[in-house]
């Protein structure tokens, strides 16, 4: 049952095992995992402001899985382009910068710390200038090629994973056994964002920006925001955080069964 839970189209990984999840030369599918029975990737996609990162991190913790924030990777590229003085319209230059930065995570921290040029970049990711640039950056095909390839390699090395973003279930891991789509109305997302900003936040203006962002993300040519085939939609508009997490965890348990999750939990406890 568990050995064929995940068979994504992964590019070759640095691991000596077969990262594609398919039997090769008599090797059981392991996706780089130290235990051949341990392979599970859960994707959580959805629009900006739906709470994917916070929810995905807690879902991962509850299930004993690792957590990948792909949105942070696109934000990192935006920050690097600004800080290195790169022409933000020069897609080739931005893609080269992305490759040169050697984006990678320190998996010993919780949540994992994203590094660029071997330096932590997390404290830059939510700055306003970065937020304003991340959508145009994420629409660049060359940049997406670099990051999608990197995300697939991460999936090969860390196959016990909850990964969140815009295209995780539709493009990066289309054959993941559990694909979720976390949604919320633009108004609710605007209210949440206003609460983060604090006093003086204009909810109506924030809502207009969110609607415009949704339009850009869902209509871009490469990696558009869509509900992946087979994805299960959860609308968090009227649900408290704990209920959203409980709902997603329940879906995962129902989809993959308790046997695998118990084994993962025991392994995490012994890790």
Q: Which CATH number goes with the domain that contains 215?
A: 3.40.50.300
The pLDDT tens digits of the residues spanning 193-218 come to: 899 888 889 999 999 999 998 998 89
Residue 88 has pLDDT above 50, yes or no: yes
- Tell me the longest C-alpha to C-alpha distance in the chain: 63
271 pLDDT band, cuts 50/70/90, is: low
Q: Is residue 9 part of a domain?
A: no
Through-space distance between the first and last CA atoms of the chain, rounded to whole angstroms: 23
Enclosing H/E stretch for 120: strand 119-120
Specify the length of the chain in residues: 271
Q: Is residue 20 part of a domain?
A: no
- Taking residues 90-103, what's their average pLDDT? 97
The pLDDT tens digits of the residues spanning 218-263 come to: 988 888 889 999 999 999 999 999 999 999 999 999 998 866 777 7
Nearest to 74 by CA among 114, 110, 40, 42: 114
Least confident of 12-16, 79-83, 153-157: 12-16
Q: Is residue 2 part of a domain?
A: no
Residue 150 Cα distances to 11, 133, 143, angstroms: 9, 21, 11
* Domain hosting residue 128, numbered range: 39-263
Q: What would the two tokens of residue 156 be?
A: 């090969």
Scanning the chain, the segments in alpha helix (DSSP H) are: 52-63, 70-83, 91-100, 128-138, 141-157, 186-197, 203-219, 241-256, 258-270
pLDDT for 212 equals 93
pLDDT for 267 equals 65
In the chain, the number of structural domains is 1
């Amino acid at each position: 049952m568990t050995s064929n839970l995940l068979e994504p189209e992964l590019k070759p990984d640095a691991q000596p095992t077969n990262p594609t999840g398919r039997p090769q030369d008599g090797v059981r599918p392991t996706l780089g995992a130290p235990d051949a029975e341990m392979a599970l990737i859960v994707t959580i996609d959805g629009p900006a402001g739906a709470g994917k990162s916070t929810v995905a991190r807690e879902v991962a913790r509850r299930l004993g899985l690792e957590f990948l924030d792909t949105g942070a990777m696109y934000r990192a590229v935006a920050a690097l382009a600004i800080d290195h003085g790169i022409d933000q319209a020069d897609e080739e230059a931005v893609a080269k910068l992305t490759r040169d930065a050697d984006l990678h995570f320190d998996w010993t921290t919780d949540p994992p710390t994203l590094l660029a040029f071997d330096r932590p970049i997390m404290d830059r990711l939510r700055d306003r200038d970065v937020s304003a640039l991340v959508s145009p950056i994420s629409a660049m095909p060359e940049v997406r090629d670099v990051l999608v390839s990197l995300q697939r390699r991460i999936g090969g090395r860390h196959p016990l994973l909850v990964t969140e973003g815009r295209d995780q279930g539709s493009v990066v891991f289309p054959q993941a056994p559990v694909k979720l789509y976390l949604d919320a109305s633009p108004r609710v997302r605007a209210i949440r964002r206003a609460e983060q900003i604090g006093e003086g936040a204009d909810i109506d203006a924030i809502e207009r920006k969110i609607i415009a962002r949704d339009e850009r993300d869902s209509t871009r040519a490469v990696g558009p925001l869509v509900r992946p085939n087979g994805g299960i939609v959860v609308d968090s508009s009227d649900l408290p955080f704990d209920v959203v997490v409980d709902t997603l965890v329940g879906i995962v348990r129902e989809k993959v069964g308790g046997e695998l999750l118990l084994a993962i939990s025991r392994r995490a406890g012994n890790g």
